[in-house]
Amino acid sequence: MSDLAPETRDWLRKNGFAVATEDLWVEALTHGSLGEARDYDRLEFLGDRVLGLSIAHWLYEDGPDAEGRLAQRLNALVDKASCARIASELGASEHIRLGKQARADGTAESDNVLGDIMESLLGAQFLEAGFDSARELVHLLWRDAVESTAGRAKHPKSALQEWAAGNQRRSPRYELVERSGPDHQARFTVKVSIHNVGEAEATASSKQEAETEAARKFMETFG
């Protein structure tokens, strides 16, 4: 008997997922904290590639942007924060299968976990209905993001690097100030500084995201 709750099955179908093999979708929504033999890790790996190819092809067909601009937009559209935002908009946190303590710790609201879940669901869609179906689902869920300015502006770290070079300053220096929280809900505080200019700090759920936010704050203050 499947462990897929009826309300979760209905939620998946309402959002365009082709639910037939229910055990597959149970796996896609199962966090490692539950201690079951299969969790979403393998499907996340697959879904990450499905998403990347779907978005890359979409951007390629969308206009004549050069490779550098295509890569910039792709990275912005498929990063963990983008996946987490879409999963949150769908209400995915209510349907993640978690251990009791992880649920109490707020793991279902973690950007890292929500991003992973979004990718695992796309992996399940690919296995259940094929690549064309998964790509259509990506087009449905990512349309607003693709049509927005996401990835069109220069990445904050690139902008800061160019600003420093253009102003005859030393390259930005990034330093991990603090890492806190359990592994499944870690928080990273990063400081970026430029000699004889100033510094800025930011905290996020990954070191890379904290560096990006710190660079953005630095440019807002000193750029």
pLDDT per residue of the chain (223 residues) written in tens, 0 to 9: 468 999 999 999 999 999 999 999 999 999 999 999 999 999 999 999 999 999 999 999 988 888 878 888 898 899 888 999 999 999 999 999 999 999 898 999 998 999 999 999 999 999 999 999 999 999 999 999 898 866 566 678 888 888 888 888 999 999 999 999 887 788 999 999 999 999 999 999 888 889 999 998 998 898 7
* 45 closest CA partner among 154, 123, 133: 123
- Are 29 and 96 in contact by the 8 Å Cβ rule? The answer is yes
Active-site choice (27, 39, 44, 48) = 48
Point out the catalytic residue in the list 44, 119, 211, 213: 119
* Overall fold of domain 156-222: Double Stranded RNA Binding Domain (3.30.160)
Q: Is 48 a residue of the active site?
A: yes
Contact 206, 194 (CB under 8 A): no
Distance CA 117, CA 108 (A): 10
Amino acid at 136: E
Please classify residue 215 by burial: count the beta carbons closer than 10 Å to its beta carbon, then call 0-12 exposed, 13-18 middle and 19+ buried. Answer: buried
The domain made up of 6-147 is a member of CATH 1.10.1520.10: yes
Domain boundaries in the chain? Answer: 6-147, 156-222
